[in-house]
């Protein structure tokens, strides 16, 4: 039976970054990915600011496109914040994960593609992990000092099948990658475009993000909330996405490169297990996702960096200081996540189209593009009156604990 210091289950941004970090520190690492290649599980809109490129030392090869402008299309009107320089990127999600896996290999780690996690057996000083080779149907067991759950929102490693999990906020989405003509692509390049209001979205938001080679990411995400003001509808995220392609993009002759979907399961109050019985959670397994907008790559990789510090300490000294990992992450994110959930709840399920329009108009009148990006992506408000606006959200954020989905 082959032995490792750490086995990481899941080759997404959190799992790949954890493996990369620990391999760099000289530990014997195994990264396990259930799919045979990373093109088979490619769901992520992956729009973000420039900062994560430096924060995680990412090369330009993982960038699908840069963006300068931010656009919010409401039911009646579009609001555009123009930038003179690049403000962010849309990552190529497949290339990002390939890069992190390749880095793990270059640093001396191991990567097993096409292997599915089946079960774990926790022993006194180790964990026996059972895997399935999906190509040969062979069951394989490996031994590790520590196991990392990077399986995403289902948390397949941390929790047993019938084990109760914390209360979850649920969301789902659909995304099409389409290749369009140069004329159409030129209308959408260099900008992140979001849709709010019931015409182009349903209990959430929709988007168009540019990629390389005349490819657009067109998608819609919804929260599973009870809507008070938006009309009852049989719309699905797939139908909304196809409507945007047909009626907004107005693409007639286009090529579908990929269709995919995904789910969000976010623990209200960040009550996930971060460590239990030699299993450490990272990424979506510990709700490392902005509940308002679904942004997760940056936060998943931040959990990986933080968790890696305590995994390295455990492997070197035997000290289980993982409670610090949980406390530090919650101290950094809990209030922001509460604000995010509260504002998203109101925007997506409480506001009428007129209220959505008024809120966006407020930001348009008072925020330049840098301030808008700071507020949307980093929860930073630079002006005194918007700080008061933020403070009111902080007070109200505690009220949502009593609301039910």
CATH of residue 308:
3.50.50.60
- Answer yes or no: is pLDDT of 349 > 90: no
The β-bridge partners of 312 are none
Answer yes or no: is 80 within a domain.
yes
C-beta of residue 185 within 8 angstroms of C-beta of residue 216: yes
- The pLDDT score that the predictor gives to residue 160 is 86
The torsion of the CA quartet 7, 12, 14, 20, rounded to 10 degrees, works out to 60
For residue 63, what are its two tokens?
Answer: 């960038």
Tens of pLDDT along 132-162? Answer: 999 999 999 999 999 999 999 989 999 988 8
Q: Are residues 115 and 72 in the same domain?
A: no
17 falls within a domain: yes
Both 291 and 247 in one domain: the answer is no
Q: Are residues 136 and 188 in the same domain?
A: no
| Per-residue pLDDT, 380 | 67
Residues 238-262 have a mean pLDDT of 92
Tell me, what's the pLDDT at 77?
94
**DSSP structure string for 2-28:** EEEEEEEE--SHHHHHHHHHHHHTT--
Examine the domain organization and report whether 255 and 134 are in the same domain: no
Which domain range does residue 209 map to? 67-90+169-265
- Asked whether residue 341 is domain-assigned, the answer is no
Of the listed ranges 43-52, 65-74, 270-279, the least confidently predicted one is 43-52
Indicate whether 383 pLDDT > 60. Answer: no
| Cβ-based neighbour number of residue 179 at 10 Å | 17
Q: What is the CA radius of gyration of the chain?
A: 21
Helices (H) and strands (E) in the chain, counts: 10, 17
9 alpha carbon, distance to own chain's centre: 17
Compute the average pLDDT of residues 203-212.
93
What b/e readout covers 7-16, taking b as 16+ CB neighbours within 10 angstroms? bbbbbbbbbb
Answer yes or no: is 355 within a domain: no
- The pTM for the full model equals 0.90
Does the pLDDT of residue 254 top 80, yes or no? yes
Task: Supply the pLDDT for residue 46.
Answer: 86
| Residue 270: pLDDT over 60 | yes
Point out the least confidently predicted range of 64-73, 271-280, 370-379.
370-379
- Of 266, 271, 391, whose CA–CA distance to 329 is shortest? 271
Residue 405 has pLDDT above 50, yes or no: no
User: Which of 265, 290, 308 is the last residue in one of the domains?
Assistant: 265
Could you give the CA distance from residue 379 to residue 397 in angstroms, rounded to a whole number? 14
pLDDT of residue 325: 97
Between residues 350 and 275, which one has the greater pLDDT? 275
């Amino acid at each position: 039976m082959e032995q490792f210091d750490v086995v990481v289950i899941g080759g997404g941004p959190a799992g790949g970054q954890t493996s990369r970090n620990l391999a760099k520190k000289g530990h014997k690492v195994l990264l396990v990915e259930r799919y045979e290649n990373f093109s088979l599980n490619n769901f992520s809109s992956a729009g973000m600011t420039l900062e994560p490129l430096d924060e995680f030392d990412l090369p330009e090869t993982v960038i699908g496109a840069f963006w300068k402008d931010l656009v919010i299309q409401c039911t009646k009107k579009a609001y555009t914040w123009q930038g003179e320089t690049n403000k962010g990127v849309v990552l190529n999600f497949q290339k990002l994960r390939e890069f992190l896996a390749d880095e793990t290999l270059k640093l001396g780690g191991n990567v097993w593609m096409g292997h599915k996690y089946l079960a774990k057996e926790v022993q006194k000083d180790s964990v026996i992990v059972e895997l399935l080779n999906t190509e040969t149907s062979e069951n394989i067991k490996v031994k590790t000092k520590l196991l990392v759950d990077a399986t995403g929102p289902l948390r397949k490693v941390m929790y047993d099948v019938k084990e109760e999990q914390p209360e979850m906020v649920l969301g789902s989405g659909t995304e099409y990658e389409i290749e369009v003509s140069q004329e159409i692509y030129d209308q959408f390049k260099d900008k992140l475009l979001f849709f709010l209001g019931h015409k182009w979205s349903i209990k959430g938001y929709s988007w168009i993000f540019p990629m390389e080679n005349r490819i657009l990411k067109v998608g819609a995400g919804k929260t599973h909330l009870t809507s008070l003001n938006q009309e009852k509808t049989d719309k699905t995220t797939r139908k909304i996405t196809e409507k945007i392609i047909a009626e907004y993009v107005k693409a007639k002759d286009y090529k579908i490169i990929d269709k995919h979907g995904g789910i969000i399961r976010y623990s209200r109050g960040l009550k996930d297990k971060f460590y239990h019985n030699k299993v450490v959670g990272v990424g979506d397994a510990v709700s490392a996702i902005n509940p308002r907008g679904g942004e997760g790559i940056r936060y998943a990789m931040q959990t990986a960096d933080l968790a890696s510090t305590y995994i390295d300490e455990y492997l070197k000294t035997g000290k289980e200081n993982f409670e610090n990992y949980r406390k530090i992450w919650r101290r950094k994110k809990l209030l922001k996540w509460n604000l995010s959930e509260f504002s998203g709840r109101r925007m997506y399920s409480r506001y009428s189209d007129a209220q959505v329009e008024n809120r966006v108009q407020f930001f348009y009148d008072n925020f330049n593009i840098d301030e808008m990006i700071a507020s949307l992506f980093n929860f930073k408000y630079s002006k005194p009156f918007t700080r008061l606006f933020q403070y009111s959200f902080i007070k109200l954020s505690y009220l949502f604990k009593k609301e039910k989905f």
